[in-house]
Amino acid sequence: MTDAQQVQQQAALSLERLWPRLEITFRDEADVAPADWRALEMRLRHEWERLFGLLLGLYGGHYDFFYHLEELLRAAARSWFARPTWLKQLDARREAAPAWFQSQQMVGGMCYVDLFAGTLQGLRDRLPSFKKLGLTYLHLMPLFESPEGKSDGGYAVSSYRRLNPKLGTIEELAELACELQEQGISLVLDFVFNHTSDEHEWARRAQAGDHEYERFYFLFPDRRIPDTYERTLREIFPTVRRGSFSWREDIHRWVWTTFNSFQWDLNYANPAVFRAMAQEMLFIANIGVEVLRLDAVAFIWKRMGTSCENQPEAHQIIQAFHCLARIAAPALLFKSEAIVHPDDVVSYISPRECQISYNPLLMALLWESLATGEVKLLAHSMRRRFRLPQGTAWVNYLRSHDDIGWTFDDNDARWKWIDPSGHRTFLNQFYMGRLPGSFARGVPFQENPDTGDARISGTLASLAGLELAIQSGDEQQMELAMRRIQMLYSIILSIGGIPLIYLGDEVGTLNDYAFASDPDKADDSRWVHRPQADWAWRGKVEHDLNSPHGQVFAQLVRLIALRKQQPAISDSETAFVETGNGHLFGYVRHGAGQRLFVVASFSPHPQEMDANLLRVYGVGYRFTDLITGQTHTAEQPLRLEPYQCVWLEPSSLPKVTGEPSEWGTSYPSEMLTEEQDRKIPRFPSV
Ligand code: GLC
């Protein structure tokens, strides 16, 4: 018998034994809701073999394996019976249309509740602004209870069951989730599962010497083991603390803290940790979350002698969580937050692990191309690395709440005759505004004095040159900055996947340097791009087309509406093409009876693409640029103005069918008068 057959047999036998026990436990619930019970049984039987195999691999060697297994099943069943009816209805809808998140209708936004709207109630009042922008996905940054003062922006969670009382209550969050769903917006929350805060009840119990909870974390009496581990570990936050361990004087222990000293890494080698976190995950799912952003996935399994990143067990843990979600909260999607080497980023993405993932490579390389004016590394890397398995999608973004790290592959760079290390130094210098000719106003993040490594903080607008242009009052710089912003948005909105906007960037918010005088934030430059939203200011600029901020907003709203009308942008492949011009990035989207040929220029000067290529990639002779409405023929080279992006549709192909109202757009009729619409600059404006 093969290993796989053996596991299959063991799984079947185990379920035969466990199922009757579950039936007894949930007899009352099954009597009241027999259809729910049957649905649960069906899904459990479907997932069982896989779940069993994963857990056996991870924890089969533990004396109490079956105890944990049975408790997990009970937790899943309990959670399913506690799931609100509207979520069960959503489960059914999502199971019937599993590709829902790949639609071109999807547009994401992310924000901190306190910084964006004060409280959950305040956020509810902002719902019209999300609709106006066309959002269908809203990621609320961590809002669970966390330590006062320093909390890594909420990424140090003290309870997964209570919210930060300043923001609201779990009940309010559940109501908001339901209301968002009614408005066609999916709620996205973090599952910060690599660590808890040192104030979490488990950590407190460990501090009090409770052995059961000491085993939830990595605690060491001396440096012996930490030193051995550290030989192969990468430092993640070198400016706040060297190494990956923090000394706790109160308990006389070194604690594994990959990030800040108050974020204690959980020990997933302990099955009790997996079970405890699975319960927290299912609780969060039942609030009404549709996408769970799995925070810091790369770090969850430690193995001595390795970097303790991206270990095979990290995947098994996520896959086992996913099986449980399929059983008890089937509408739930996982989004991976792996800001690591591109090969490792992709390794988390599969229909059975994380269905969606940040695309840090595209993000970093868009900025790289903007700095160099050349697209060779971007085009080469995307050609090799953009394609994903069926049933999964990228989340494409320009900025998030985090820094920009230059996570491209060194060999990809060398292939294009770029020295990777020198190039990273150049990019850091460029985005810190330290090079002549740089338009960016970025701030260094976690500059490592030993390695010289650094990452970059800053808002989209400040990095794209708007801050400098406003300060200098230089009209031409202003125009170029606006064009860069629009071009970058045009790419993430058309390249395929879910575009994600860091809210604030939709109006070109500039860096806010005030964080430096707040002792809780001063040592973390990421706060420079996390300012408090100023709604009085926004009210003034948002619809003022004479203001650069109003222009950024209007252009973006328009582009989003345009995206939603292009079926070629939904679930299908992106073919990256050779444009024959080192400044032009090109790709074709083809699907649902439509073909779109996108060309984006990263040059501050006009550029041309050969007419033949236009014919070949565009498959046509006459084209309309959907962004400007201008037509192009393949008689002459395609000419692009500085930083222009065109979405070319051949006029000869069949047109999209259906009424515009069916395409679900919110713009322009609801937003601007025709007169105002005409005033929005559609580059090229000259
Ligand atoms: C993720 C978050 C980041 C946080 C870290 C530790 O990378 O995006 O903001 O600092 O995890 O939780």
Residue with the bigger pLDDT between 670 and 4: it is: 4
Nearest-angstrom CA–CA distance, 686 and 677: 17
Nearest CA to ligand 1 atom 9: 402
pLDDT band at 451 (very low <50, low <70, confident <90, very high): confident
pLDDT band at 675 (very low <50, low <70, confident <90, very high): low
Coil, helix or strand for 607?
A: strand
Q: Which of 33, 21, 120 is nearest to 83 (CA)?
A: 33
Alpha-helical regions (H) of 83-163: 85-96, 113-117, 120-125, 127-133
pLDDT digits (tens, 9 = 90+) for 292-349: 999 999 999 999 999 999 999 999 999 999 999 999 999 999 999 999 999 999 999 9
Work out whether strand 574-577 and strand 584-591 pair parallel, antiparallel, or are unpaired: antiparallel
How would you label 570-600 residue by residue, b for 16+ Cβ within 10 Å and e otherwise? bbeebebbebebebbbbbbbbbeebbbbbbb
Nearest-angstrom CA–CA distance, 544 and 314: 49
Q: Is position 475 annotated as part of the catalytic site? A: no
Q: Which of 656, 646, 654, 617 is nearest to 634 (CA)?
A: 617
Per-residue pLDDT averaged across 632-654, rounded?
90
Q: Is 413 touching ligand 1 by the criterion CB < 6 Å?
A: no
> Is residue 665 scored above 80 in pLDDT?
no
Are the C-beta atoms of 325 and 94 separated by less than 8 Å?
no
Backbone angles phi, psi at 339, to 5 degrees: -100, 75
Q: Is position 337 annotated as part of the catalytic site? A: yes
Q: Which atom of ligand 1 is nearest to the CA of 153?
A: 9
Are the C-beta atoms of 506 and 556 separated by less than 8 Å?
yes
Per-residue pLDDT averaged across 467-472, rounded?
97
Nearest-angstrom CA–CA distance, 58 and 56: 5
The contacts of residue 69 (CB under 8 Å, 6+ apart) are 14, 18, 52, 55
Residue 102 alpha carbon to ligand 1 centre in Å: 26
Alpha-helical regions (H) of 208-337: 211-214, 224-230, 271-288, 312-328
- 111 beta partners: 140
Neighbours of 265 (CB within 10 A): 23
Neighbours of 390 (CB within 10 A): 10
Q: Is 403 touching ligand 1 by the criterion CB < 6 Å?
A: no
Are the C-beta atoms of 506 and 553 separated by less than 8 Å?
yes
Q: Which two tokens stand for residue 305?
A: 């002698």
Mutate to test the pocket of ligand 1, among 143, 189, 295 (most ligand atoms within 8 A of CB): 295
Are the C-beta atoms of 624 and 651 separated by less than 8 Å?
yes
Give the rounded distance of the alpha carbon of 467 from its chain centre: 26
- 139 beta partners: 110, 188
Phi-psi category of residue 58: left, alpha or beta, with phi > 0 → left and psi -120 to 50 → alpha? alpha
Nearest-angstrom CA–CA distance, 111 and 504: 8
74 burial (CB, 10 Å; 0-12 / 13-18 / 19+) is middle
Q: Which of 191, 194, 211 is nearest to 202 (CA)?
A: 211
Q: Which of 543, 549, 556 is nearest to 627 (CA)?
A: 556
pLDDT band at 631 (very low <50, low <70, confident <90, very high): very high
Nearest-angstrom CA–CA distance, 135 and 179: 14
Rg (CA), the chain: 26
Nearest-angstrom CA–CA distance, 69 and 55: 8
Please report where in the chains the tokens 């937050």 appear, as a residue.
337
Q: Is 505 touching ligand 1 by the criterion CB < 6 Å?
A: no
Residue with the bigger pLDDT between 513 and 621: it is: 513
pLDDT band at 684 (very low <50, low <70, confident <90, very high): very low
> Is residue 633 scored above 70 in pLDDT?
yes
Residue 220 alpha carbon to ligand 1 centre in Å: 24
pLDDT digits (tens, 9 = 90+) for 536-545: 999 999 989 9
Residue 356 alpha carbon to ligand 1 centre in Å: 17
Rounded to two decimals, the pTM is 0.94
Per-residue pLDDT averaged across 508-516, rounded?
97
Q: Which two tokens stand for residue 486?
A: 């629009």
Are the C-beta atoms of 19 and 60 separated by less than 8 Å?
no
Nearest CA to ligand 1 atom 4: 155
Greatest extent of the chain over all pairs of C-alpha atoms, in Å: 79
Per-residue pLDDT averaged across 211-235, rounded?
97
Q: Is 571 touching ligand 1 by the criterion CB < 6 Å?
A: no
Task: Calculate the average pLDDT of the chain.
Answer: 94
Proportion of the chain above pLDDT 90, given as a percent: 90
Residue with the bigger pLDDT between 620 and 344: it is: 344
> Is residue 231 scored above 80 in pLDDT?
yes
Per-residue pLDDT averaged across 599-608, rounded?
98
Q: Is 402 touching ligand 1 by the criterion CB < 6 Å?
A: yes
Q: Where are the beta strands (DSSP E) in 488-540?
A: 498-502
Lowest mean pLDDT, pick from 192-201, 418-427, 649-658, 663-672? 663-672
> Is residue 51 scored above 80 in pLDDT?
yes
> Is residue 673 scored above 70 in pLDDT?
no
DSSP H or E segment with residue 178: helix 170-182
Coil, helix or strand for 143?
A: coil
pLDDT band at 571 (very low <50, low <70, confident <90, very high): confident
Give the rounded distance of the alpha carbon of 576 from its chain centre: 23
Q: Which of 105, 47, 298 is nearest to 195 (CA)?
A: 298
Nearest-angstrom CA–CA distance, 640 and 610: 11
Mutate to test the pocket of ligand 1, among 112, 144, 152, 446 (most ligand atoms within 8 A of CB): 152
pLDDT band at 681 (very low <50, low <70, confident <90, very high): low
In this prediction, residue 654 carries a pLDDT of: 43
Per-residue pLDDT averaged across 201-229, rounded?
98
pLDDT band at 671 (very low <50, low <70, confident <90, very high): very low
DSSP H or E segment with residue 237: none
The contacts of residue 574 (CB under 8 Å, 6+ apart) are 382, 386, 387, 495, 496, 587, 588, 589
Pick the catalytic residue: 114, 295, 374, 524? 295
pLDDT band at 96 (very low <50, low <70, confident <90, very high): very high
Q: Which atom of ligand 1 is nearest to the CA of 526?
A: 9
> Is residue 471 scored above 60 in pLDDT?
yes
In this prediction, residue 241 carries a pLDDT of: 81
How would you label 206-244 residue by residue, b for 16+ Cβ within 10 Å and e otherwise? bbeeeeebbebbbbbeeeeebeebbeebbbbbbbbbebb
Per-residue pLDDT averaged across 33-42, rounded?
97
Length of the chain: 686
Are the C-beta atoms of 638 and 609 separated by less than 8 Å?
yes
pLDDT band at 652 (very low <50, low <70, confident <90, very high): low
Residue with the bigger pLDDT between 240 and 342: it is: 342
> What's at 53, amino acid-wise?
G
Q: Is 295 touching ligand 1 by the criterion CB < 6 Å?
A: yes
Are the C-beta atoms of 326 and 373 separated by less than 8 Å?
no
In this prediction, residue 274 carries a pLDDT of: 98
Q: Which of 402, 400, 397 is nearest to 526 (CA)?
A: 402
